[in-house]
Amino acid sequence: MLIREKLVEGFKRGIVVPEGLIAHGRGECFDYLIGESTQPFALRAIEAAVAALLLAKHPVISVNGNTAALVPREVVELAEEVNAKIEVNLFYRTREREEAIAEWLRMHGAREVLGVGEDALATIPELFSERRRVSPRGILVADVVLVPLEDGDRTEALRRMGKTVIAIDLNPLSRTARAANITIVDNVVRAMPLMVEKARELKKKTREELARILESYDNNRVLQEALLHIYKRLQELASSKLTLDL
Ligand code: ATP
């Protein structure tokens, strides 16, 4: 309920669009199937994601309306821990919305927010409309991009540009989940605080140790495990008593 209130508040502030509310509904459905808790496959992806961000030369956290509304403080904290830039990147881009999101992030401690107004003058090849605009100091030159709640087209375009893409997506079957290098199948409100915690822990490791974490990571296996988890959960539920005694 608290999550919905944050989105409604974000909607009133001009940060979240109606389409974002629909996207959230789809996420909630998968969260229900997963059991609304962080599973081991998500923890493994979080570890690999943080290792990739710490090893990156130019890490960027791409922020859309829902992410800004749900986890603004965690975006700022994670950016500080892994030394990443924060860039506003919207599917439905307007100047007012970009600025509302940047202001919201600054209220939560962000020192610099890229991708607002003239700063978003570079373009991602193969994408059309306002979705293709990115900052030449941010996503354009990034080697690792964290895209909580991204759409499939942009994830694929970023991959084709040679970037390592980390997605947070509750749907293990979405194009985003399948196109990303590392997919955290978990709710962004649970995953982001865990990423901040993990960054504080992994910062103490050597680059070799971080590289080993990344080498042993298998995203296909993680997506398979997410589906198996849902499958087993539904199987258990299907063989239990479902009706409520009132
Ligand atoms: P794709 O284009 O990747 O196939 P899609 O068109 O189904 O995805 P979008 O509407 O672009 O999806 O984005 C919504 C995605 O974000 C969905 O996959 C949904 O499960 C996920 N999502 C929504 N809310 C959350 C959340 N709070 N945490 C994690 N994932 C979420």
User: Taking the model in full, what pTM does it have?
Assistant: 0.96
Residue nearest to atom 17 of ligand 1 (CA): 27
Measured from the Cβ of residue 78, the count of other Cβ atoms closer than 10 Å reads: 25
Residue nearest to atom 10 of ligand 1 (CA): 23
- The residue type of 24 is H
Which pLDDT score, from 0 to 100, does residue 93 have? Answer: 86
Rounded Cα gap, residues 225 and 95, in angstroms: 41
Contact 71, 192 (CB under 8 A): yes
Which pLDDT score, from 0 to 100, does residue 168 have? Answer: 98
DSSP 191-210: HHHHHHHHHHHHTTS-HHHH
Beta strands (DSSP E) in 46-200 are 59-63, 85-88, 122-123, 133-134, 144-148, 164-168, 182-184
How many angstroms does the Cα of residue 57 sit away from the middle of ligand 1? 28
* Rounded average pLDDT per 10-residue block, the chain, 246 residues: 92 96 96 97 98 98 97 98 96 92 98 94 78 91 96 93 97 97 98 98 98 98 98 97 95
Evaluate: CB of 69 within 6 angstroms of ligand 1: no
Which pLDDT score, from 0 to 100, does residue 160 have? Answer: 94
> pLDDT tens for residues 170-224?
999 999 999 999 999 999 999 999 999 999 999 999 999 999 999 999 999 999 9
Mutate to test the pocket of ligand 1, among 146, 151, 156 (most ligand atoms within 8 A of CB): 151
Rounded Cα gap, residues 18 and 168, in angstroms: 20
Evaluate: CB of 64 within 6 angstroms of ligand 1: no
- The residue type of 10 is G
Residue whose structure tokens are 């107004």: 117
Contact 74, 193 (CB under 8 A): yes
